[in-house]
Amino acid sequence: MIAIGDIHGCIHTLKALLKEADYKSATDTLVFVGDYIDRGYYSFETVDFLIKLQRQVGKDKVVCLKGNHELMATGFDFDLWMYNGGHYTIASYERNGQDVSIHKSWMRNLPLIYDTPEIIFCHAGLSKSKIEDNTEEDLLWGREWLSKNIPTPDNKQVIFGHTPMEEVFQTANGSIGIDTGCVFGNKLTGIIFTDEGSKIISVKKAVEDCDIE
């Protein structure tokens, strides 16, 4: 299993990370923690790539979770969306002769949590110790919990994005943040989970993602 942090339209960097991870669609499960769009130049290409990959190998093998940027793009608050880079997404779709509406249903129906026997994945982390007590707002926007030692459900490891840092970081309760600010010029990070343990992989933001072609 390979978990991947916030992409924000950096499609070339994503493909470089999958290559670095030696991703094999026939055997590997990908888990994306949300925020595929906005701020970067290639939001349409990123979403289109993920949808096609899901169709190819199945949603159980390519798990795409909802991020707060997908929520904003589906009518949550247009002004807030624009403030957070939504105009880059609109421009990306227009360059491809498309409207964001063609993918809104996909964004709207993305799951909030991926719960496995040992690990829980979600966009912003768990603000409360019981999964069912976490609201959509908690799961997509929450940050107040980061410095609190809130027990995780069944003491599982929690992997999340949303809060960009220069490096992968651990919160007070041991949750792991994997948003390393790729769209801001840093890098895209993933974690490979195997029977032997876990391994962090990162690639610097691709030059191709730094400007439109």
Would you name the residues annotated as active-site residues? 69
- Sheet harboring 119-122: ordered strands across? 113-115, 119-122, 157-160, 176-177, 169-170
Question: Angle of helix 43-57 relative to helix 11-20, nearest 10 degrees?
Answer: 40
Give kind and range of the element (H or E) at residue 204: strand 197-204
Residues in the chain: 213
Q: Using CB atoms within 10 A of its CB, is residue 197 exposed (0-12), middle (13-18) or buried (19+)? A: exposed
> Residue 46 and residue 38: Cα distance in Å, rounded?
10
The strand pairing partners of 72, in sequence order, are: none
